[in-house]
Amino acid sequence: MSRRPGAAKPSGAHRTTVWEGDHFPAPVVVDLQGKACSPWITWFVDRTHAGICGWAVTPGFPGQSGVLTALRHAMLSDEQHTSVGGTPQRICVDRGKDFLYETMRTVLDPYEVSVEFLPLYHPHDKMIIEAVNGAAQQMFFPTLPCYGYARCGSAGQRVSVALAEVGAPPLTFTDFVALLHEWVTWWNTEHTSGA
């Protein structure tokens, strides 16, 4: 029986069989050298146990560099990087221009990792990473200062916000990254996921 790409994890799958990759804008405003910004998070999640293998934070839309930084973080496993990562057999990402096929293939071919490009706007094809995104939206972001001040315009583009508009002092970009690191560590080592 065939299984749809990106659907529920296969029975008997082991860690690093399949990763899912995604990124999204954090619903907070932080201070980046005196200017307000809403960070974007890119991460790769192991489909078998919903562990966050690697991640990167950028002050704007991540593009190719954010994807490659998160991927590098996921594949390295030393004291500075996650212990959840490694080398997967396959990575599933959507067809966004930031997950460029040629770049991903060039980077991953030497490791014999296949890349599966899923249809755009089909979150059910990446159920595990969408569950992790949702967990961050519920558990992590609401605990931060200036949560909910990041705004989108009518076309879904981020609207610039002045630091004076957010009221409470925002976190610095560096502090935001440090707190996200703590949350990812907690997620990977203490939290029991139902994903």
Q: In sequence order, which residues have a C-beta less than 8 Å from that of residue 22 and are 6 or more positions away? A: 42, 43, 45, 93, 94, 126, 129, 130, 133
Range of the domain at 154: 18-184
**Nearest CA to 132 among 8, 22, 4, 9?**
22
CA 87 from centre of chain: 17
Sign of CA dihedral 57, 194, 17, 97: negative
Which tokens belong to 160?
């610039």
Asked whether residue 163 is domain-assigned, the answer is yes
Asked whether residue 189 is domain-assigned, the answer is no
What percentage of the chain exceeds 70 in pLDDT?
70
Which tokens belong to 26?
């954090």
Per residue, the 3-state secondary structure of 133-176, as one string, reads: HHHHHHHHHHHCCCECCCEECCCCCEECCCHHHHCCCCCEHHHH
Give kind and range of the element (H or E) at residue 108: helix 101-108
pLDDT tens profile 76-87: 866 565 567 788
Asked whether residue 6 is domain-assigned, the answer is no
Output the domain CATH number for residue 38: 3.30.420.10
- Number of structural domains (the chain) is 1
For residue 8, report the phi and psi dihedrals to the nearest 5 degrees: -55, 155
Asked whether residue 191 is domain-assigned, the answer is no
Asked whether residue 195 is domain-assigned, the answer is no
Output the tens digit of pLDDT for each of the chain's 195 residues.
233 333 444 444 566 789 999 888 899 989 999 888 889 999 999 998 899 999 999 998 888 888 889 999 898 866 565 567 788 999 888 766 667 667 778 888 899 998 887 766 666 667 888 899 999 999 999 999 888 766 554 444 555 566 666 667 889 999 999 999 999 999 988 887 554
Asked whether residue 106 is domain-assigned, the answer is yes
pLDDT tens profile 116-158: 877 666 666 678 888 999 999 999 999 998 887 665 544 445 5
Q: What is the CA radius of gyration of the chain?
A: 17
Asked whether residue 2 is domain-assigned, the answer is no
Asked whether residue 145 is domain-assigned, the answer is yes
